Structure formats: structure tokens, C-alpha cells
Amino acid sequence: MKYLIAFAQAHNEFRLPELDSVSELYGFEYTLCQSLDTSDPQRPYMVINLESEKHARHLARRCILVKAIYEFYGQGGTYRELHEANRANRALWERFIPDTSFKFIVSAYNHTIPQARQTEIIESFSYMDFQGKIDMKNPDNIIGCFEEYTDRHGTTRNKHEGDGHFRQVYLGRLLEEGSARQLIGHFDVKKRVYYGNTSMESEISLLMTNQTMAAPGKLIYDPFIGTGSMAYPAAHFGALVFGSDIDGRQMRGKCRPPGVIRAAKQYGVSQRIIDLCTFDVTHNPWRCGSLFDAIVTDPPYGVRAGAKRLGRKRELSPARYAAYLEHQKAPRPNDQPYIPPTKPYELSTLVADLVLLARYLLKPSGRLVFFLPTVVDEYQEIDIHSMLCDGMEVIANSLQDFGSWGRRLVTIKKTASLSYLPPAFMLGEAAINDHVPAHRDFREKYFQGFKKDITASIPNEERKDN
């Protein structure tokens, strides 16, 4: 069976990875209808093959980027081609002829169709001969006809200029509207009782959660949980969530109970937040691996909040170290707990270490889902693959483009069934020496406006002469 998907016009590159993840979650497969020239994820409509209507409904109820799914009747470059395809598929719609109420809608992408032509289009389908009554409020069936026009933003034109010169026209019966998109408003950060300046927007956090395939009975971990943006949608879909951060203030806030728990109560999922702990992921308390079904996180990359790890920026001199040891022996008041020193955690080292940690903590076939900021012009595929280790494989890599820079939603799957020892986090630093990825020193590049180092391209001899 063929089904027509109408997508929301946002995050185009995320569409196919989301379809892949949701279909795998529910245990079915889909294929793109290559012969119909509708497999381009950048276009607003896509025709796919599914075994049953139930699978199409699963996509509509879980995919954040799906506006609606239709039973596909036909498409064409002209209305003549569309009518021929629709007549050939009479077996799909003839059962609705006798006594079902219906409604016909006509709309366009990147265009507004005049009302008079909308009426003409509807009347051109009179051969379908539906005998039921027309019901504009609560019909049994909604038949949709959609014209797709090329993007003409930035051009000056009259209101209906180019009317009828569409790229493709589609026809189908509405099966189900995408109910998952309502969750974007439900998890809106502006309506949340607790959030911070690094809280992830709700639509992106929902897309990340779908990549984890969160579901009841699954255990998910966020090692940089911050204010908990990824925890709430994961818990909403039924998963149990554990979170940690090197800065406990981000999780706690200034009131009791902790801010993440207060926000989880707002969404009715506080019972699915297992615990929140403060520790450095490179000095973690995990004593056994293969615990989690997924790890989802948005690592700090230094623009609004920099990544930290335990340690000192500069080693203490012998004299200062001896003084430090003496100071440690002195009794400390209860209201002055020891706060260990921290040092910056370079992004490329962080993500390489994150992959190592995920390999240790994930169950076989578990997923690591995270955002990786990068310089768009400098990015290469090897940037992602250079951070991998044995037993880990990239299955999705989508760009959210901001112009000079962007962030990539990366999904890595644990393909190994072996048990690994706890990582020493020395390999992460060694892994970046062979290749310098575009996300190396991202913070410095960001605040420099991504200006290229001109002197780097000048031979040493010329630099000496100058």
C-alpha cells in the first residue's frame, strides 16, 4: 500500500532519520517510491510503501515532523495525469461511493490557489460519484488535493502569479493527522516552570528523543542533563531517565525540590526520573556496563556554557602543592564543602570520550544521540568517523544549518555484543591527533566569527621573509 506523507516545513534533513527510527521502534519497514520522484526529503510531500494502515498510523502518532498521512490515490505533473492515476486506483476509493459523508480540500505549497479554481478542481473529480452528503465539519472521509510549487521566496510577484504552473499535484484520503506535533507546544520551554539559557527547544528535543526510540521499559541516560530538556520527552514516551552533570546547580536550581524534578512534575513524569547525580563523566561511578538502552545529550560547547572536567588548568608547584595538602588537613566548617577545581574540556576530546563511554554503558544495539556543533565550510565526513571506536557505527547524521556554523544530530549505534572495560578516557585525546575535525576548538572559532587563519596557508619561508 502507498501512503502520502505531508511534512511540516522544518528540519528537512531530520525527516528520514526520524522515519527510520520510528519504524524500527514499532518493528516494521517502509520503502520510498523511487519511481514516483517523491523520495527527496527536501520536498514537502513523500510517497512511501507500507504493509498496513496500522503502520501509517504509528508514524502519524509518533513522528514530530509529520503533519498528516493520506492513503495515496495518485499524482501527476498535470491534472490529466492525476485523473488517469486516480481512475487506475478506483479499487481504493470505490467503497466510499454509496453512503459515506465526505469533504474535498484543495491546497498548495508555496502558492495560494484562487477560490474559483479550487471549485473547478473539485468539480473535475465528479467522476468519483460520491453519493454521501457533503459534511464540512465532521465528514467520514476527507479527500485532499495538493499542488506543489517551487520555492519562490525573495521574488516579487502578483498574488496568484504562476497559478497552475505547479511541479506536482497529489491526491489522497486523509488517514490520520500528525498528533505528535502537538507535543511541541506541550513541552514549550517558555511555559516550563524550570529552564535555563541552554535549554533545548522542544521540537529539537522531541526529535532527539525519537532517535533514541524511547518507549516503556527502556532506560535512558543524559550525561550532560543541565535543566533536563531531553529527559521530559523521553519520560513522556514511557522511558525511565537517569541524569548527571558536573555542575549540580544546573539540575537543582535555587528551590526545592530540584528544578528538573519540578519541571518533570509539571509534565506528570516525575516518577520516571530515576535520579540526578553530580559527577564528572570522566570520573564516573559506573562499575558495570551495558546498562542503558540509549544515551541522549547536548554536550556543552562553550558558547553559552563551557564544558568542564575535574583538574587544574596549571599544575601546582611543589611548594603550593605542599601548602594545599596542609590546608586539606585542617577541619572545614560544615557549611563550606570542598569544591574540586575544574579545567576546560575541549569539544573534540569530549565527543570522542562520549563515544567511548557510550560503548561501555550501552546495551547491544543501544544508541548514542547527541548534537555536534561544527563549522559548515570546514566539515568533512571523516570528522564524525574519526571519533568512532570499535563496535560503534554511525546510522544517522543530519545538519541544522545556521549559516557559517551548524549543529549535526548524530546517532551512533552499538553494534558489538561484547562487554567492554570502563574507558580510561586517554584514547579520546589520542584519537584527534591524526585528523583535526571542524569542531576542534569550536568555541574559539565561534567568537572569532569563523574567520580563517590566513597565515596558516602561507608557506613557512614566506612567513619568515615577511
DSSP secondary structure letters along 128-174? G---SPB-SSS-SEEEEEEEE----TT----TTTTTT--SEEEEEEE
pLDDT of 459 higher than 80 = no
Residue 281 in any domain: the answer is yes
Specify the pLDDT at position 456.
43
The last residue of one of the domains, among 152, 179, 206, is 179
Specify the pLDDT at position 197.
84
Q: Are residues 287 and 430 in the same domain?
A: yes
Q: Are residues 159 and 223 in the same domain?
A: no
Mean pLDDT of 338-367: 89
Residue 3 and residue 175 in contact, taking contact as beta carbons nearer than 8 Å: yes
Q: Are residues 192 and 154 in the same domain?
A: no
Query: In this predicted structure, which of 265-274, 328-337, 442-451 has the lowest mean pLDDT?
Result: 328-337
Specify the pLDDT at position 224.
94
Per-residue model confidence as pLDDT tens digits over 51-108: 999 999 999 999 999 999 999 999 999 999 999 999 999 999 999 999 899 999 999 9
Specify the pLDDT at position 161.
81
Q: Are residues 120 and 227 in the same domain?
A: no
Q: Are residues 67 and 16 in the same domain?
A: yes
CATH number at residue 22: 3.30.2130.30
Residue among 51, 50, 65, 70 at smallest CA distance from 13: 65
Residue 126 in any domain: the answer is yes
Specify the pLDDT at position 409.
96
Residue 401 and residue 42 in contact, taking contact as beta carbons nearer than 8 Å: no
Residue 37 and residue 94 in contact, taking contact as beta carbons nearer than 8 Å: no
Residue 321 in any domain: the answer is no
Rounded CA separation 174/71 (Å):
6
Per-residue model confidence as pLDDT tens digits over 115-158: 999 999 999 999 999 999 999 999 999 999 999 998 877 676 67
CA distances from 74 to 14, 173, 332, 446 (A): 26, 10, 77, 48
Q: Is the peptide bond before 257 cis (omega within 30 degrees of 0)?
A: yes
Residue 331 in any domain: the answer is no
Q: Which residue has the higher pLDDT, 110 or 216?
A: 216
Residue 317 in any domain: the answer is no
Rounded CA separation 338/328 (Å):
9
Residue 235 and residue 242 in contact, taking contact as beta carbons nearer than 8 Å: no
Per-residue model confidence as pLDDT tens digits over 254-286: 888 899 999 999 999 999 999 999 999 999 999
Q: Are residues 130 and 225 in the same domain?
A: no
Q: Are residues 127 and 200 in the same domain?
A: no
pTM of the model: 0.88
Rounded CA separation 32/37 (Å):
9
Rounded CA separation 275/252 (Å):
12
Per-residue model confidence as pLDDT tens digits over 286-320: 999 999 999 999 998 866 666 777 877 777 677 77
Specify the pLDDT at position 323.
73
Rounded CA separation 444/173 (Å):
52
Q: Are residues 202 and 90 in the same domain?
A: no
Residue 28 and residue 51 in contact, taking contact as beta carbons nearer than 8 Å: yes
If one counts every other C-beta atom within 10 angstroms of the C-beta of residue 93, the result is 19
Residue 283 in any domain: the answer is yes
Per-residue model confidence as pLDDT tens digits over 390-400: 999 999 999 99
Rounded CA separation 144/137 (Å):
15
Specify the pLDDT at position 322.
73
Residue 198 in any domain: the answer is yes
- Count of domains for the chain: 2
The parent domain of residue 304 ranges over 186-311+340-448
Q: What percent of the chain has pLDDT over 90?
A: 65
Residue 460 in any domain: the answer is no
Specify the pLDDT at position 105.
95
Q: Are residues 125 and 65 in the same domain?
A: yes
Q: Are residues 305 and 403 in the same domain?
A: yes
Q: Which residue has the higher pLDDT, 49 or 444?
A: 49
Q: Which residue has the higher pLDDT, 403 or 338?
A: 403
Mean pLDDT of 337-361: 87
Per-residue model confidence as pLDDT tens digits over 17-36: 999 999 999 999 999 987 66
Specify the pLDDT at position 454.
42
Specify the pLDDT at position 143.
96
Specify the pLDDT at position 41.
79
CATH number at residue 280: 3.40.50.150
Q: Are residues 232 and 144 in the same domain?
A: no
Grid cell 498528533 in the structure block, residue: 179
Which residues are bridge partners to 74 per DSSP? 171
Q: Are residues 162 and 255 in the same domain?
A: no
Rounded CA separation 357/221 (Å):
11
